Amino acid sequence: MSDHHRALERMYHAAPFNGYYRGRLTIGQGTARLDLPIQETFLHAAGAVHGTHYFKVLDDTCFFAAQSAVEDVFLLTASFTLYFTRPIVGATMAAEAKLVDQTRSQLIAEGVVLDERGKECGRGSGLFARSRHRLAELPNYA
């Protein structure tokens, strides 16, 4: 496990918004996985997880799969495509992503969102661009 990956995990878990989700992010080289307990507030009127949470876990894992390969600057999500394939019900959900392409200026990662049985419930892909923000200057990265 690289120091860069552990620093990214710390940065993720320290972000105020992620405290609401109480998930567990694990980063590898070109990969990321987020395990997340489903809270009652995640559910829409029909009792399944609302689509905004599919986006949240897929954007996060695709972003960190891409960011795992970039150690100098912070990436930004430039675009994201999401497909919903089935509803998520149960106590947990997860997302897994991998980096699939990289150029000098942008990276592409793809991921899936899974229910507690490991069944695919959605998939997405993101395009990530390099920003001017140096990782070493961001709070909670060092």
Rounding to the nearest 10 degrees, give the CA dihedral for residues 44, 48, 54, 60: 90
Answer yes or no: pTM beyond 0.75: yes
pLDDT at 139: 86
**Averages of pLDDT over each 10 residues, the chain, 142 residues:** 92 91 94 96 95 96 98 98 96 97 96 97 98 94 85
DSSP letters of 14-58? HSGGGGTT--EEEEETTEEEEEEEPPGGGB-TTSSB-HHHHHHHH
Query: Which homologous superfamily does the CATH classification assign to the domain defined by 3-137?
Result: Hotdog Thioesterase (3.10.129.10)
